Structure 1
Amino acid sequence: MRKGRLIILDQIDGRDCAALIDDGVLTDLLVDPSDDKRPRPGAIYRATTQRPMKGQSGIMLDLGNGQAGYLRQAKGIPSGETLLVQISTHADGSKAAPVSPKLLFKSRYAIVTPDSPGLNIARKIRDEDERDRLLEIAHDALDGADETLGLIIRSVADGVDSEAIFDDITAMRSAAEAVLAQASGAPALILPAQSAHHIAWRDWVDPDPDDVMRESGGLELLGFRDAVDDLLSPPARLSAGAWMAIEPTSALVAVDVNTGADTSFAAGLKANLAAAKDLPRQLRLRGLGGQIVVDFAPMPRKDQRLVEQALRAGFRADGIETALVGWTGLGHFELQRKRERLPLKEVLSK
C-alpha cells in the first residue's frame, strides 16, 4: 500500500464523500446526508426565541421550517427576540439542536469572528517575520470592514502565497457580511453547513496535488470501499486476533474489547492498548459521539494507568472535542464526545 497522504473525493450511494488516507490506512471519512433536513453543525439560522426552560438557564428557539434549537446560558434573553445562531452539534435523537450566538466563518486559512474584534495569529506560527506578513495581509483583507469583525489566521497559512490567503479571508469576510445583513426577519436557514468536499479542503492538510483523487469510483478502485463497509457493523479488528465491538444504543455508545482465543492478562493489556490507540479513529470514521462507555478486556488494575495514557494521547491528536471522564467502579472507562457528525450507519441507510 502506498505511503504518505491521499485524499479521495468520491461518492457513496449518490452522496458526496471525502476520504483521508494516511500511509494506506483510512483515517477520516466525511459523507453528505442525502435528504436530511435536520440542522447540521456549522449552519447559521435566523431564529426567534420562544420559551425559557424551567429550572435551566437555556431557552428554546424556532429555527423555521419546523426545526427547533436550544441555546444554553440564555439568562436575560426574552421570548420573541430575533437573533442569528450557529448549530454547535447534532441534536441527540429528536431533541432540539444545540446552538451558539457566537458565529464563526471558518475557511482553510482563516476564521472570521463577528462581535469578537481583533486580529490573532495561530500560536504554532512562531517566526516573527511570518507573523508580521500575515498580519499585513489580514489588515489589507479587512480594510473597510466593520470594526466588530475579528479574524484568526490558522496555522496552515504558514508560508502560503499571500494572494491565496487574501482571497480566502476576503471570501469569509463577504460571507460574514452577507449573513449579518440578514439579521432581521422570520426564522430561516441563512447559511447551510459546508459539504464533505469543502470540509476536506478546509481541514485536511493538502498533500501533493497528484495525491488528490477526484475520479469517480476512487474508493473502489484503490481498495477502500470494503473498509467503509466494515464501519457499518460493530466489530473493529485489532492485532493478534483481538477485536472490539462498537455498538450505539439509544443512551450511549458501548465499546467491548475482546482478546480472542488468548485470555491471559498479557493479551488483555495488549488488546486494550491497541483499542485505546484505535478508538479515536473508529469513532471519527463511524460518526459517533455522546456518552461512550468502554469495557476493556480483563487486566491488572495497575495497568489501567497505561491504558488511560494511551487514550489521552489518542484523543489529544483527534480533531473532535472529547472529554475523558475516567474509570467507573465496575472498571469501565467513560468518555463524552461532541456530536459533530451524524452516525455513518444512519447517513448511509437513507
Structure 2
Amino acid sequence: MKGRVLVLDELDGRQAAALMLDGRLEELAIDPEGDVAVPGAIYRAVADRPVKGQGGIFVKLPGGSGFLRQISGVAPGQRLLVQVTGPAEPGKAVPVSTRLLFKSRFAIVTPDAPGLNISRRIKDEDRRAELSALADQGMAGADERLGLILRSGCLEAEDQAIAEDIAAMRGLAEAVLTDLSGPPELLVDGASAHDLAFRDWLDPAVDEADTEPDSFERQGVTEALETLRTPRVGLEGGGHMMLEPTRALVAVDVNTGPDTSPAAALKANVAAARDLPRQLRLRGLGGQVVVDFAPMPKRDRHILDQVLKAAFKAEGETNLAGWTTLGLYELTRKRDRLPLSDLLR
C-alpha cells in the first residue's frame, strides 16, 4: 500500500505498532515482557551511592536500581523524581534523568525549563500567534518552573484538543512534582506501543490506520520482522551489509556483491549509509557502531561523510566520530529501546 499507514496489532499478547511508508517499515514499537522500566516512565527514587569515576550516582527504584549521570546537588538518601531515558543493558542499572518531560500528542510540559516554545515546523505566523494565545491561557497561574512546548501536530489540530492536552500535561506535572514523600515508586508509566504510535507517529492529515486483527500480516509488517531477524540487509545493485551486535559494539560490514565495476564500492557504500539509521533504529541497536565500508579511494570519503550526515540528521543523539586509521567508520547512537532480538524471542 502506498503512503503512510499506522499499523496496530499484538505479538504474543503484547501491544505492537508499526509505521509503513510506501510498503517499507519505518518505525516499530513492541511492548516488552514482564515488569520492565519503559523509557518515559517517571519514578520517585532515593539517591544511593555516587560513582565518581563514572560521573554519576546510583538511585534506588522499586525492585531495582537506576543510574543518574549527575552528582552535583544530589546527596545519598535524598528523594528524587527521575525519568527513564532508555532500556537497561543486561546486568546494568536503568539509565535515568532528573530532567522530566510530560509528553502528549500536542504538548510537552517541561519542569525546570520555563518559557514557551512552538515547533519550528509551524511557520505560519498567524497560527503561531493563535497557539501562543492558547498556551498563555492554558498555563495561566501555573508554577513558574513549568515550561511548555507545542508540537508540530498543533498546526492542523483543533484548538480544543490542544487546550485539553495542555491542561492534562500541566495537571499531571503539578501532581507529580509534589509527590516526593515515600519510598521508591512508579508514578507515571511509560507509553505503551499503541500510545507511543498515536502520540509520536500519527499525522491525521496524511496517514491511514489499520487497527483490525491481523493487521501486521495484512500490511507486510510480519514479513519485514522476519527480515529483521537476520543480520543480512540487501542493498540496491546487488550489494549487502551485515549488522552484527557484539558485547562491545555493533559491527557493520558492507559488500558490493557481484558488481565488480569501479563505481560498485561507492554505490554500495552510499546505499548502506542511507539505510543504516533505519536498520539500527528498527533493530534497537545503539552504543558504539563500527562500519567496514567496501574498499574505495580515500578521495571518495567526503561523499560518504555528507550522505551519513544527512541520513542521521533526524536520528536524535548520534555522534558521527569519523574515520579511523584502519579505514573504518565510527559512530555512537543512543540506545533508546530494547534490542529487537530480545523482544521477538
Superposed pair shares fold, TM > 0.5: yes
- TM-score normalised by L of structure 2: 0.95
- Change beyond 3 A, Cα 1:118–1:205: same
CA RMSD of aligned residues (A): 1.6
Q: 3-state DSSP class of the match of 1:316? A: coil
CA deviation string 1:87-120 (max 9, x = no partner)? 1222233211221111101111111011222222
Per the alignment, residue 287 of structure 2 pairs with: 290
Deviation per CA, 1:139-192: give whole Å up to 9, x if none.
222233222221111122113210010011111112212322322210121111
Report the equivalent of 2:41. Answer: 43
* Percent identity between the two aligned chains: 55
1:312 corresponds to which of 299, 309, 312: 309
For residues 10-60 of structure 1, what are the alpha-carbon distances to aligned partners after superposition, in whole Å with 9 as ceiling and x for unaligned? 11222211111111211111111121x332221111111111113343111
TM-score, normalising length: structure 1: 0.94
Alpha-carbon distance in structure 2 between the residues aligned to 1:98 and 1:13:
27
Partner of 2:200: 203
CA spacing shift, 1:210–1:118, aligned 2, 3 Å: closer
Amino acid at match of 1:162: D
Corresponding residue for 2:22? 23
Deviation at 1:123, TM superposition (A): 2.5
Q: Which residue of 1 aligns with 2:337?
A: 341
Q: Within the alignment, does 1:12 sit opposite 2:11 as a pair?
A: yes
Q: What is the identity, as a one-letter code, of the residue corresponding to 1:327? A: W
Distance 1:99 1:210 in 2: 33
CA distance in 2, matches of 1:40, 1:138: 29
| Residues paired across the two proteins, number | 345
Alignment deviations for residues 261-309 of structure 1 (CA, whole Å, 9 cap, x no partner): 2344421111100000011111111111111111111111111111121
Q: List runs of 5+ in structure 2 lacking aligned partners.
A: none
User: Which of 237, 243, 248 is matched with 2:245 structurally?
Assistant: 248
Tell whether 2:327 aligns with 1:331: yes
The residue type equivalent to 1:22 in the other structure is: L
Could you list the per-position Cα deviations for residues 47-77 of structure 1 after superposition, in whole angstroms to 9, with x for gaps in the alignment? 1111111334311111121x11111131232
Aligned to 2:103: 106
1:89 to 67, 86, 90: 86
Counterpart secondary structure, 1:41: coil
Q: What code does the residue aligned with 2:344 have?
A: L
Residue 217 of structure 1 corresponds to: 214
Map 1:249-264 → 2, pairs under 5 A = 249-264=246-261
The answer to whether 1:165 aligns with 2:165 is no
- Tell me which residue corresponds to 2:226: 229
Q: Secondary structure at the match of 2:263?
A: helix
Question: Could you say if the C-alpha distance between residues 69 and 241 of structure 1 is closer, same or farther in structure 2, counting changes exceeding 3 Å?
Answer: same
Query: C-alpha separation between the residues in 2 aligned to 1:145 and 1:31?
Result: 35
Structure 1 regions of 5+ residues with no counterpart? none
The question of 1:321 aligning with 2:317 is answered: yes
